[in-house]
A = this chain, B = another copy of it.
Amino acid sequence: MREFTVPVERLVEHFRKLPGIGIKSAQRLAFHILNMPREEAQDFADAILSARETVTRCKICQNLTDRDECVLCSDPARDHSLICVVSDPRDVAAIERTREYNGVYHVLHGVLSPLAHIGPDDLTVRELTLRVGHGDIRELIMATNPDTEGEATAVYLSRLLKPLGVKITRLAYGIPVGGHLEFADEITLSRALDGRQLMD
C-alpha cells in the first residue's frame, strides 16, 4: 500500500535501501528533506552526485581521492617504503588520527570472504603485489581487522608477498588501553599473553 504521495515514497525507498536504515528512519529522513530549505536539499543532491562522480581511487594506494594520487601518496614527508595494509578507507582515517604513523597505506577495499564469494581479484591484491614488486618497499604492516576474515586475509597476503623479499608484520593484539581484564574475551586475553613484552 502506498502511504504517502509518490515523490515522498520514492525518497523513502531510497533512504530505506541505505545500510542500517529501517522504514521508520527512512520516513523520518525523507520528511526532514521535505522541510529543508530548498538550497540545502539542492546542495545535498549535488553532494551525492559529486561524490559519486569525482571520487576515485588513488592510483598508488587505492584509497579514495578526488585526484590522481592521494594527499598521502603525494606527500614527500611520508615514508614511502613502509606500507600499512588496511581493508577500508575508514581504517586509514583511524590510523591517521593516532598521528603516530608516518608511512603510507594500501587499501584493499574488503577482505577475503569465501562465503560472500570475495576472492583476491575482488580486492586490490594485484595492485599491492605490483607495488611490492616494483618499489623499494621495506615493510608491510598488516592492519586488517582482528576477526576471522581479516586474519585470513593477512595470512593470505603474507604468504603471497613474503617470496618477494619484503618484511611483513602485523598490528599487536592485546588488551585495549583503558580496558578491564575481566571484560576482555578469552581470545583477546590469550593473544595478550602470547604477545607479552619485557617491561623496561
Contact = CB atoms under 8 A, between A and B. Distances in A.
Copies of this protein chain in the complex: 2
A89 B4 CA distance: 8
B45 A49 contact: yes
Contacts of A30: 51
A169 interface: no
Interface of A: 1, 3-8, 10-11, 13-14, 18-21, 25, 27-34, 36, 38, 41-55, 64-66, 70-71, 88-90, 93, 96-97
A8 B51 contact: yes
Given A3-B96, A28-B20, A90-B27, A55 B34 contact: yes
Contacts of A31: 88-90
Interface of A is mostly: helix
A31 B52 CA distance: 10
Contacts of A29: 18-21
A152 to B, nearest CB: 22
A48 B33 contact: yes
Contact of A32 (B18, B53, B90): B18
A51 B31 CA distance: 9
A168 to B, nearest CB: 27
Which 6 pairs of residues, A with B, have the shortest CB-CB distance?
Answer: A3-B93, A41-B52, A45-B45, A11-B51, A7-B51, A45-B48
